[in-house]
Copies of this chain bind each other. A is one copy, B any other.
Amino acid sequence: MSAAARTRPLAVLLTIGDELLLGDRVDTNGPWLGRLLTDAGFEVVERWSVGDSVPAIRGALARMEALAPGGVLVATGGLGPTDDDCTRQGVAAHLGIPLEEDPRLLQALEARSRARGSGELSRLNRRLALVPKGAEQLTNPVGSAPGLLFHPSEGSGTLMAFLPGVPREMRAMAETALLPGLRRAFAHRLHPPFERIILTAGQPESLLAELLEPALPPSLGVRIQYRPSLAGVELRFSAEGEGGEARMDEALERLEPLLAPWRYGWGGETPEGATVLALRRAGLTLALAESCTGGLLASRLTAAPGCSKVFQGGVVAYDNSLKEALLGVTPELLEEHGAVSGPVAMAMAEGVRIRLGADLGLSITGVAGPGGGSAHRPVGTVWFGFSGFLLGENRRATIEAEPMFFPGDRDEIRTRAVHYALRRVRERTRG
């Protein structure tokens, strides 16, 4: 690691809330802030979660400060109006300063309450006007509770920021109020990393590593990290220090022939976004007939930007009667082969393609469990049907079906099926 990397200011993240320890809530604020601060040029070293208790918050602040001397500590959560929110009290205890009602903030809260037609400020919401003495307030563009900022002082060598726990409020405040302040305070000490994220599908982590590592000269100082998920393996390439960008470019150029067959996207992209893009490039429209995935593939596709250009819609044929009524699958076919079969998958794909006038029809029919499995078709069996003018060796009309087996529980089988379908659509748009 070079000098340039070592001198990045350190950052630690603290998320506050009992629900984060009891397991009733996944923390999305910590990762989001980790990405924001990393991209801004900080080195995020640890991320902690503590419960809603003044001693726990006070203790964590003291110990975390020591992990980021001269850097920044960003905390979220516990700034709300109810009794279990006690971050203000924890900060005040840690810094040894009193809480005071801020008259201007109280006025602003009262005005906001009236403007929203909620009448007088309630007793609980009045608590939001309590602020540790001397704190700088961060404006909340989309909610009531302001954030708090404490510049390094004799009491603490670390800049400390406290943001609300509601993700929408936290993100708006971090982008509009916190980040500009951090850029001013840390200025030339910030060094955004040289990194590239490459999304791959179709090869497991260990085989990718055996493919790539021998082809990457250690002298380039480029590190690869492997992040497997149900969507495939995400590769993070990073190069620290002087000349990192040039060394990164060289590394990626060398690895290009090995990566190309498995790569479907870059950092910031999603599997569904890559599939929508592939369809747009090929000029093809898609129609879906989903059974066991119950609309999950459609909902993923419609979350991607530009989807309306290529995705017209689909049918969620959860019940067999709908496969007949909406897709024209005959009762005889269902009777003879069963709903989870190649012939039915093909009939569903062809039915939805013709009824919707799309270029491609895709169907998914399977046994996602927990019930419904048999020795012949165990839970995890999923048939995919493809119909339409597919691109391949030569552009031709085809109807095909293929079976897959996916391990895991109901959620996992459905998610794996969606990712497999997204990958196969991408592959079929390629010449």
Interface residues of A (CB under 8 A from B): 17-28, 30-36, 38, 44-52, 56, 60, 63, 80-84, 122-125, 142, 166, 168, 197, 205-207, 209-210, 213, 223-229, 234, 236, 288, 290, 292-299, 301-303, 305, 307-308, 311-319, 321-322, 325-326, 355-357, 370, 407-408, 410-412, 414
Contact = CB atoms under 8 A, between A and B. Distances in A.
B45 A46 contact: no
A30 to B, nearest CB: 7
B316 A288 contact: yes
The 6 closest A-B pairs by CB, nearest first: A294-B302, A23-B35, A295-B298, A295-B295, A23-B34, A296-B299
A197 B225 CA distance: 39
Contacts of A294: 295, 298-299, 301-303, 307
B414 A24 contact: no
A288 B355 CA distance: 18
Contacts of A209: 81-83, 124
B24 A35 contact: yes
Given A142-B407, A205-B82, A299-B294, A227 B316 contact: no
A166 B24 contact: no
Most B CB within 10 A of own CB, among A50, A206, A292: A206
B49 A82 contact: no
25 contacts: A19-B234, A22-B34, A23-B33, A25-B31, A27-B27, A27-B31, A46-B56, A47-B49, A81-B209, A83-B209, A83-B224, A84-B223, A124-B209, A168-B408, A294-B299, A294-B303, A295-B297, A303-B410, A308-B318, A308-B319, A311-B319, A312-B321, A315-B326, A326-B326, A326-B356
A24 B20 contact: no
Most B CB within 10 A of own CB, among A22, A31, A301: A22
A55 B355 CA distance: 61
B45 A56 contact: yes
Nearest to A318: B313
A79 to B, nearest CB: 12
A24 B197 CA distance: 10
Contact of A82 (B27, B206, B299): B206
Given A23-B32, A26-B27, A312 B302 contact: no
Contacts of A83: 209, 213, 224
A83 B30 CA distance: 25
A114 B24 CA distance: 40
A151 B255 CA distance: 44
B308 A295 contact: no
B408 A24 contact: no
Contact of A355 (B31, B45, B325): B325
B318 A80 contact: no
Given A313-B317, A357-B321, A22 B48 contact: no
B23 A31 contact: yes
A18 B18 CA distance: 24
